[in-house]
Structure 1
Amino acid sequence: MKWQKVWAFNKYWVMSKSQKQYDYIRLLAKNNQWTPQKSQELKNIIDSLKSVSPTKKTLTTTYQHIWGYFKRIATDEELHQYLNLLDELQPDNDNLGPFLAQLTNKYQIDYLKKSRIIIELNT
């Protein structure tokens, strides 16, 4: 289904901007019952978030979710670096996002490699 690909691509990017909109989209997608109306609503939400800046809270939540892909495979050094960068995280000085993008490439996490937030962090 096309909407599932759109959602998979944007999921963490949306979360980084608005937990409220993220939760709302999850409700829309519940039971996989999708309609053209819901597709338009998803597009509208994504478009509306383009001008929204992440907050420390939304970035922290998002990066903790992304870290979940690495927690069992990362080295102790990577864990230490993650925790330090998480502690220092500020939306206007984000070193954690690029670090997670590096780990995505290092460990070849396909789902994350196709994620908008990681793609944007790599550019």
Structure 2
Amino acid sequence: MKKETEQLWASEKYTVMAKGYNLYKEVQGQIRDAQSDTDYEKVRLLIAELKEKPFERRALCNTLEHVWGYFKKSAQDVDKQHFFSLLDTLRESDKEYYDEMPYEMDLFLQYLLQKYPSDYLSRSTFIKN
């Protein structure tokens, strides 16, 4: 159960982080402290519950910057400029919560992942494939 929960967390951590950094830290702490199958089941249920929450704009922007780290060394300047233009638009938005990743950002992340592959990010639910 431990291995499966850790794999689940690896695939969901950026999605949870974009819901709220405090939520991310909560799950991270529970995984660190988990010792029994019951503890790991609680973590799995918490992750499922948090996935249902909306993205919080500040947390989403922070998470996008983390994800950009996977592309920054190989990305062309034009891709960097476009990514940060989309990120700035999101930062300046009056909207505090998002039920889904903004469409243009979602598409661009898919494009980046295809152009600059990352095994780790390809297993993440944060970027739709």
Please classify the TM superposition score into its range, dividing by the shorter chain length.
Answer: 0.7 to 0.9
Contact in 2 for aligned 1:21/1:45 (Cα 8 Å):
no
SS in 2 for 1:116: coil
Q: 2 CA distance for matches of 1:27 and 1:50?
A: 17
TM-score, normalisation: structure 1: 0.85
Stretches of structure 2 that go unaligned for 5 or more consecutive residues are: none
Q: 1 CA distance for matches of 2:13 and 2:57?
A: 18
CA positional deviation for 1:93:
7.3
Count of matched residue positions in the alignment of Structure 1 and Structure 2: 119
Residues 1:108 and 2:117 aligned together? yes
Stretches of structure 1 that go unaligned for 5 or more consecutive residues are: none
Hey, what does 1:6 align to over in structure 2? 8
Hey, what does 1:28 align to over in structure 2? 30
Q: % of aligned pairs identical?
A: 30
Q: 1 CA distance for matches of 2:126 and 2:101?
A: 16
TM-score, normalisation: structure 2: 0.81
Runs of 4+ in 1 over 3 A off after TM superposition: 90-93
Hey, what does 2:79 align to over in structure 1? 78
Root-mean-square deviation over aligned CA pairs: 1.9
Contact in 2 for aligned 1:66/1:100 (Cα 8 Å):
no
